[in-house]
Amino acid sequence: MGHQKLVGISGRVSYAQGGADPDKSVIIQRVQGGKRVKVGIYKTHLDPQRIEWEPGALQWKDGNVPRDSTFVTHVEVVLPAEVYVTMCTLAALGILLAVCLFAFNVYFRNNKIVKLSSPNINNVLLLGCVLCYSTVFIKTTETTTGILCKSRVIGFCIGFTTTFGALFTKTWRVYRIFTNKRLLKRTIKDYQLLAVIAGLVMFVMCIVVAWEIVGPHVMVVKYLENKIFKLGHDEEVYPFVRMCISEYSIYFSWIVYVVEGALLSFGAFLAWETRHVKIQALNDSHQIGLCLYNVVILSAVGLTLSLLLDDNVVMLYGINSGCILIGTTVTQMVVFIPKIHAVYARIDVTSDPVGGPGQSGTDRCGASNKGTGTTASRSTTQPD
């Protein structure tokens, strides 16, 4: 074959008998500042072939290398540390308050005022408050498991039912005694009230267990399409949140709301019916009324905002935790402060007149307690 010549990318190429053009490098140039600038050399004779760039030769607008596509970054929206630490600190203080009130109950268990207030049931109430406080420590962000979702739901349902179940069973005992129209001897012991509380808790637990069997809570990732924002240099940030989702939550959650609402309504009825009983150590109707008002308002606010702020995990956690902290703390204080004041002020509880259904305002009530129950007779009420 004779000599062959052609013009290629690297310039003039010639082939002769026995070999090709020894120059196999390609010069890479770029127009910068209105003139051609050598930026690199593509060497094809090396193994592997490669480009050797001229140091500092390439210059880009604004100093940024252009992208061949938009660079997307996924960022999880998490709870700010200061919010979580603040809520957990308040919850820990609430638990400490419950422990102090429990110690008060135990230390003054032989005091007549404390005995009349059903200290065993009050301890159960404090246990429910501690369970409610504990749910504040459970956050459902920055995790991929649904166990925390289940724990929060179960803990709050049991805590709420235990707290108000204990509060209302005490009032139910007063109602049963002072609406005894036949004035027969009637004994209602603490273990009977504990059985009622356990029954309420088991009923709610059956609903929650059925909920987890039919439509278990799982952790899902939800991208906030309305909060996507762009950064410079063709970069977009996609925020996302982790949420607890249950397929049938709309049905089971409303069942729980109805059950707990019925419990609150029943407590309101008992508080109204026993409002004439003047033995403050025995009757908590006024305290229950205040607790009901507090809880109903907070529940309405929390439920409404939960529906409106479904994907705003930071505000949702703050609002729910705040409602739990305020409601639980107010309940403890409303129930126990009058008892603490009566103990230290040495108020006599045996001389208050009793008025109620089936009794005249001139009747007198003598009261004592041995911690096992309460008995009603024709003219006196004495614990059994």
Q: Residues 127-167: pLDDT tens digits?
A: 999 999 999 998 877 777 778 888 888 898 999 999 888 88
Q: What is the pLDDT of residue 367?
A: 38
Query: Chain-wide mean pLDDT for the chain?
Result: 76
- Domain-wise residue ranges, the chain: 4-59, 81-217+242-382
C-alpha pair distances (Å), 384 with each of 100, 169, 278, 282: 28, 17, 21, 14
Q: What is the pTM of this model?
A: 0.70
Q: What percent of the chain has pLDDT over 70?
A: 72
Integer Cα distance of 16 and 8 in angstroms:
16
pLDDT band at 78 (very low <50, low <70, confident <90, very high): confident
Q: pLDDT tens digits, residue range 224-270?
A: 776 766 666 677 788 888 888 888 888 888 888 888 888 888 877 87
Q: What's domain 81-217+242-382's architecture?
A: Up-down Bundle (1.20)
Q: Which residues pair with 12 in a beta bridge?
A: 7
Share of the chain above pLDDT 90, in %: 14
> Greater confidence, 123 or 294?
123
- Encoding tokens for residue 292? 């009901």
**What is residue 85's predicted lDDT score, i.e. its pLDDT?**
92
Lowest pLDDT segment from 98-107, 109-118, 196-205, 313-322: 109-118
State residue 19's pLDDT score. 55
**Alpha-carbon distance 126 to 133, whole Å?**
10
One DSSP character per residue, 143-177 reads: ---SHHHHHHHHHHHHHHHHHHHHHHHHHHHHHHH
- Burial string for 27-64 (b: 16+ CB within 10 Å, else e) reads ebeeeeeeeeeebbebeeeeeeeeeeeeeeeeeeeeee
Residue located via tokens 């019925």 = 262
Q: Name the phi and psi angles at 213, rounded to 5.
A: -75, -45
User: Burial letters for 132-150: b for 16+ Cβ neighbours within 10 Å, e otherwise?
Assistant: bbbbbbbbbbeeeebebbb
pLDDT in the model for residue 245:
80
Query: Which residues on neighbouring strands pair with residue 237, listed in sequence order?
Result: 73, 229
Tell me the pairing of strands 373-376 and 235-245.
unpaired
- Low-confidence winner among 255-264, 272-281, 308-317 (lowest mean pLDDT): 272-281
